[in-house]
Structure 1
Amino acid sequence: WSVWTDHQDFITIRDVGWIQMFCMDNQEIYDTNLQAFKIAEDSRVFLPTVVAYDGYILSHTMMPVSIENQEDIDNFLPPLEHHYNLSDISVVKGIDPVTTPHLRDRGVEGTAPGYFEYRYAMQKALENSIEIIMEVHDEFSEKFGRSYGNGIYKTYLTEDADILIFAMGSVASQARNVIGQLRKDGLKVGLVSLKLFRPFPASQLRELFKEAKLVVVFDRDIGYGYEGVLSYELKAALYGLKQSPFIKGFIVGLGGRDVTDQHITKGVNKAIKESE
């Protein structure tokens, strides 16, 4: 029995302008939720932040999780100081739920942005949020002693790897289980587990993959009419590198289908053959 887990619903909201992060285990879910409040409520961001994980695989299973003291959490999370405080009725506010195509002069209430300006502000906030996400992750790590790569991706045995597996969530967890055997077979394989999907950390990934010869992408989603979304997002991010790696994508595990060690091993070996 399963709840048909895959990453399709998470991927589908990629263009709504929210920050999207994906977790690999229950401790990471708990820790990332704490960080998400601080990221989303930062005055340089003010955007919704999604913390996602694989349904059933994590939501319907148990594993040990460290729960922090409320006082320590309160010290980590500052009080919310939002630009709109609707509960303060001493200050009259005009809030227009409709965003007009053009700038709108609202007199003493100031000028409301038009649709174009509003979307531009969202884009800039998303772009700027990458550094903030990394800052908050490092602050959390220093305070609570747990870290997840650099806050935007996690690596495993990538230092000497010629072949890099690129995946998210449960697929990345499964791939990690296989890397030891692949290395025993003589293949220098490493793993990059993407944590931050939106904004897509293109600059950081270009730096990470610039020496890679082969990248094998496993998507638990599909960009209908094209291919797996992680695969084509990575291809776009790495476009123009002087030494661009060969990228081979596979779609696995849709609708709760099991993703096995054999799927990962077969995909890596097939990618090697196609890259030769």
Structure 2
Amino acid sequence: MVKKVLEGSHAIAEAVKLCEPGVVAAYPITPQTHIIERISEMVADGEFRTKFSRAESEHSAMSICLGAQASGVRTFTASASQGIALMHEVLYNVSGMRLPVIMAVANRSLASPLNIWCDWSDTFAERDSGWMQFYCESSQEAFDTIIQAYRIAEDPNVSLPAMVCIDGFILSHVYEPVDIAERKLLGKFLPKHRGRKMDFDKPVTQGAWAGPEYFQDFKRDQHEAMRNAKDVIRRANSEFKRVFGRGYGSGLIETYNMESADHAIVTMGSLCGTIRHVIKENKIRDVGLVKIRSFRPFPIGEIKKALNGVRSVGVLEKDISPGLGGALCYEIRGLTKKRSVSAFVGGLGGKDVKTEDILNIFDDIREERRGLVWV
């Protein structure tokens, strides 16, 4: 493997190049633009052979992916914020048609007010769209997760699309050392794409109309595929670690400092790196981290097991469901009814979550603070 210092967006572009999608649908939007720009440069320089299709909107970009994937071609696109909102209709079509499209998302807030900085409101708005969602802590994890996502999504027991999410600007524009996999090693992990082929001699209908007597059956199959994905994610993570020497917990969640912890903080994405630093720097023993890597499918069993021995839990998230609170917190509360779960919302619209904020959150978790805490 070759180690390079790369911007997070460029790390994703490098991973996409290795996975060799036949079609890349492109429409730029801050803060994911550097992903598509870098792929465009690779194509222009002859480094990356793919059909680079320039769309006139995000809705069209996802529609291009739908058509290409339905004809048997591995595909990729990237988007964020209002772009995700604009393609909302097509996201449901792609997942309902069981097409394993991969999309990188540089998470960014949804207007209004207009804001170009990070929170999870764009992808959380699509949490029930039938797309798998993976949240990355570092540029290295983003690189690795793109590769894993193709393996997982294209598994015949899954056949669902996936979003690989990085915190906008915080990861998309930061430079970090990244180990770039060699193509010969990649071949041991990710097989050549063998998607459904368009056969003009044996035509089939895709995305058909379904009446009340059949529609629910389609949704049940989609639900079971998402459940199947959990085992596929675990296997993909184990196999990736065997081939490349890196893994991420169970693939669904990762824990840190939980061996002797009395309290736990649950979160996702780049916040996990800050929390690891605070725990290590301050030699904290009584608080551990439960990092959710796979938000969809939601790792119910793993989270229950990780939180089994603690007295209190805090959930820190970059989203808000107005009038309810943090959406992730309410999902966690459904799994830990016998424990106190404190709710923390911070980082909306790019608001910085500092190390002193994390220390204050730890104190609130220890005290089992009630109500929503704005960080």
What TM bracket, shorter-length normalisation? Answer: 0.7 to 0.9
Determine if contact 2:268/2:292 at 8 Å carries over to the other structure: yes
Distance 2:256 2:206 in 1: 48
Matched, 1:153 2:253: yes
Aligned mate of 1:136, from 210, 224, 236: 236
Distance 1:166 1:102 in 2: 40
Determine if contact 1:182/1:265 at 8 Å carries over to the other structure: no
SS at match of 1:169: coil
**Structure 2 matches for 1:200-211, cutoff 5 A?**
200-211=298-309
Residue by residue over 1:116-154, the C-alpha shift from the partner in whole angstroms, topping out at 9 and shown as x without a partner, is: 111000000101110110001100100010111111111
Matched, 1:21 2:134: yes
Code of the aligned partner of 2:209:
T
Tell me the equivalent position of 1:107. Answer: none
Tell me the equivalent position of 2:164. Answer: 51
Q: Which has the higher strand share?
A: 2
What TM-score, normalized to structure 1? 0.87
- CA distance change for structure 1 residues 181 and 74 in 2, over 3 Å: closer, same or farther? closer
Aligned mate of 2:294, from 196, 221, 224: 196
Matched, 1:260 2:354: yes
SS at match of 2:221: helix
Give unpaired runs (5+ residues) of structure 1.
Answer: 104-113
Matched, 1:225 2:346: no
Determine if contact 1:154/1:194 at 8 Å carries over to the other structure: yes
SS at match of 1:92: coil
SS at match of 2:367: helix
**Structure 2 matches for 1:77-116, cutoff 5 A?**
77-82=190-195, 84-86=196-198, 88-89=199-200, 91-102=201-212, 114-116=214-216
Distance 2:224 2:192 in 1: 24
Give unpaired runs (5+ residues) of structure 2.
Answer: 1-30, 32-115, 371-375
Aligned mate of 1:172, from 272, 292, 297: 272
- Tell me how far 1:80 sits from its aligned partner: 2.2
Code of the aligned partner of 1:158:
M
SS at match of 1:53: strand
Tell me the equivalent position of 1:109. Answer: none
Distance 2:218 2:118 in 1: 34
Distance 1:180 1:75 in 2: 36
Residue by residue over 1:188-247, the C-alpha shift from the partner in whole angstroms, topping out at 9 and shown as x without a partner, is: 1111111010011111211111111011111111122211112111111234xxxx2211
Distance 1:122 1:172 in 2: 30
SS at match of 1:200: coil
Distance 1:180 1:125 in 2: 39
Tell me the equivalent position of 2:313. Answer: 215
Tell me the equivalent position of 1:41. Answer: 154
Matched, 1:9 2:9: no
Per mean C-alpha deviation after superposition, the further-off stretch among 6-15 and 247-256 is: 6-15
Residue by residue over 1:92-118, the C-alpha shift from the partner in whole angstroms, topping out at 9 and shown as x without a partner, is: 213143331245xxxxxxxxxx21111
What TM-score, normalized to structure 2? 0.65
Code of the aligned partner of 1:124:
E
Determine if contact 1:183/1:189 at 8 Å carries over to the other structure: no
Distance 2:366 2:281 in 1: 16
Distance 1:275 1:9 in 2: 28
Distance 1:145 1:197 in 2: 24
- Higher RCO, Cα 8 Å, sep 6+: 1
Distance 1:173 1:202 in 2: 23
- Between the two proteins, what is the percent identity of the paired residues? 34
Distance 1:234 1:60 in 2: 31
Aligned length: 256
- Tell me how far 1:182 sits from its aligned partner: 5.1
Tell me the equivalent position of 1:111. Answer: none
Code of the aligned partner of 1:6:
D
